[in-house]
């Protein structure tokens, strides 16, 4: 097996192959310490060792945890080791450093580019090119490391513990967490998510269990519920039948016959029989009086219709009279205006004739 030491800085970046860097990247860096250049050259690397691995679960499950939705949960369970806590300030990673350099270059290129001299502008351009090369080489190197790690894991099959120089995590705990999350998700699909209620999941399950137990053991409540449902259904059907029977007399009579019981019909017949016995002797006289009253009512209706017609005619005549009055007033105003205009024309004509006579008189005297 071949390993790549990610702490070594003398590797040839050009020899690394191109891979897809669009996925998630996992990398690490050592803590920064302020040392002299000679101390940095003489100090040995702390991460010269190789990766330790043991047999564990298949690589497909591990890849799902590292690249799928479980990545966020995986990062929360990482065990950070061999980290120096002497310096309270967190070390700056290579990625953060590159981002900071990129931001500073953008700030310089924005507003201050006009005030720079040609030499300084050329240096800035060269610096941008160098930054692009370093950033590309950094991404390619991380991608190559990830590819090598993936190929090694696929070749080894199952892993139980994955160890990195500064990072270690147990896949068994992650599998337990994923299994627990799946079970919680299945329960939430039955009782609803926690965002919809203020009660805890245990309380919701207890209430559901109590309601189910009550329904299963209380047959009387179920019978009452069934009868009430039947009554509501019957009332609903009768309401629809009543709406339809408003326009259909036959259907209305049929609906009334269905709603009335046999006993109520018999009682109604007895009531009619009592009324008939009471008013039987005078019924012919009442009939004649009703006919006479009906005739009088019809004549009154005719008279009322005639009066309404006359009233409408009078209103029409009043409207016509009003219109004629308006027309007459308009004609009178126009005639008055023409009379005034004619008088003015006559005055003007007389004045003109007088002037002409005055002109003619001197000529006749001569």
Q: Name the 3-class secondary structure at 185.
A: helix
pLDDT of residue 92: 66
| More confident site: 220 or 317 | 317
Last residue of a domain, one of 185, 217, 250: 185
Confidence of residue 358 (pLDDT cuts 50, 70, 90): confident
Please tell me whether residues 216 and 246 are part of one structural domain. yes
Give the Cβ contact number of residue 81 at 10 Å. Answer: 11
Residue with tokens 């981002």: 99
- Cβ contact 155:55 at 8 Å: no
Domain membership flag for residue 362:
no
Domain membership flag for residue 312:
no
Token representation of residue 327: 């027309």
Last residue of a domain, one of 132, 155, 185: 185
pLDDT tens, position by position, 281-340:
888 888 889 999 999 999 999 999 999 999 999 999 999 999 999 999 999 999 999 999
Q: Inform me whether the pLDDT recorded for 117 exceeds 70.
A: yes
End-to-end Cα, the chain, rounded Å: 153
Phi/psi region, residue 11 (left: phi>0; alpha: psi -120 to 50; beta: rest), is beta
Domain membership flag for residue 245:
yes
Last residue of a domain, one of 259, 279, 299: 279
Domain membership flag for residue 342:
no
Please tell me whether residues 91 and 32 are part of one structural domain. yes
Please tell me whether residues 123 and 251 are part of one structural domain. no
pLDDT of residue 346: 92
- Cβ contact 56:171 at 8 Å: yes
Please tell me whether residues 217 and 128 are part of one structural domain. no
Please tell me whether residues 94 and 240 are part of one structural domain. no
Strands 161-163 and 79-80: unpaired
Please tell me whether residues 119 and 208 are part of one structural domain. no
Query: At a CB cut-off of 8 Å and minimum separation 6, what does 255 contact?
Result: 238, 241, 242, 245
Please tell me whether residues 212 and 107 are part of one structural domain. no
Range 204-227 average pLDDT: 73
Q: Inform me whether the pLDDT recorded for 25 exceeds 60.
A: no
For the chain, the domain total comes to: 2
Domain membership flag for residue 127:
yes
Q: Inform me whether the pLDDT recorded for 67 exceeds 90.
A: no
pLDDT tens, position by position, 151-207:
766 665 555 555 555 556 666 777 788 888 888 777 767 666 556 666 666 777 777
Please tell me whether residues 87 and 144 are part of one structural domain. yes
Domain membership flag for residue 46:
yes
Please tell me whether residues 208 and 130 are part of one structural domain. no
User: Distance between CA 179 and CA 185 in Å, rounded?
Assistant: 10
Query: At a CB cut-off of 8 Å and minimum separation 6, what does 16 contact?
Result: 137, 140, 141, 144
Please tell me whether residues 230 and 272 are part of one structural domain. yes
**Domain hosting residue 247, numbered range:** 204-279
Domain membership flag for residue 341:
no
User: Distance between CA 74 and CA 66 in Å, rounded?
Assistant: 7
Domain membership flag for residue 293:
no
Please tell me whether residues 141 and 94 are part of one structural domain. yes
Query: At a CB cut-off of 8 Å and minimum separation 6, what does 167 contact?
Result: 26, 28, 78, 79, 80, 81
């Amino acid at each position: 097996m071949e390993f790549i030491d990610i702490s070594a800085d003398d590797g040839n970046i050009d020899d690394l192959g191109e891979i897809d860097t669009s996925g998630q990247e996992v990398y690490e860096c050592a803590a920064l310490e302020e040392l002299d250049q000679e101390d940095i050259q003489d100090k040995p690397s702390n991460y010269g060792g190789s990766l330790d691995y043991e047999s564990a679960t298949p690589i497909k499950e591990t890849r799902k945890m590292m690249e799928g939705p479980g990545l966020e949960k995986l990062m929360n369970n990482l065990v950070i080791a061999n980290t120096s806590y002497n310096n309270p300030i967190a070390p700056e990673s290579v990625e953060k450093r590159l981002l900071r350099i990129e931001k500073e270059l953008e700030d310089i290129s924005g507003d201050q580019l006009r005030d720079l001299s040609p030499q300084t502008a050329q240096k800035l351009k060269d610096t941008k090119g160098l930054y692009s090369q370093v950033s590309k080489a950094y991404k390619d190197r991380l991608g190559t490391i990830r590819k090598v790690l993936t190929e090694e894991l696929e070749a080894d099959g199952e892993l139980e513990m994955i160890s990195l120089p500064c990072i270690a995590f147990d896949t068994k705990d992650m599998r337990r967490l994923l299994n627990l999350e799946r079970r919680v998700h299945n329960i939430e699909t039955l009782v609803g998510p926690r965002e919809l209620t203020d009660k805890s999941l245990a309380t919701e399950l207890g209430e559901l269990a109590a309601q189910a137990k009550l329904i299963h053991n209380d047959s009387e409540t179920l019978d009452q519920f069934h009868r009430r449902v039947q009554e509501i259904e019957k009332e609903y059907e009768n309401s629809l039948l009543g709406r339809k029977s408003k326009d259909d007399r036959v259907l209305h009579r049929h609906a009334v016959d269905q709603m009335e019981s046999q006993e109520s019909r018999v009682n109604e017949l007895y009531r009619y029989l009592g009324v008939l016995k009471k008013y039987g002797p005078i019924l012919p006289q009442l009939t004649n009086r009703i006919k006479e009253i009906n005739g009088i009512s019809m004549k009154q209706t005719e008279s009322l219709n005639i009066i309404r017609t006359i009233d409408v005619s009078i209103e029409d005549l009043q409207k016509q009279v009003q219109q004629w009055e308006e027309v007459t007033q308009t004609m009178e105003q126009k005639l008055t205006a023409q009379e005034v205009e004619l008088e003015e024309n006559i005055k003007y004509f007389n004045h003109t004739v007088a002037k002409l006579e005055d002109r003619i008189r001197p000529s006749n005297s001569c």
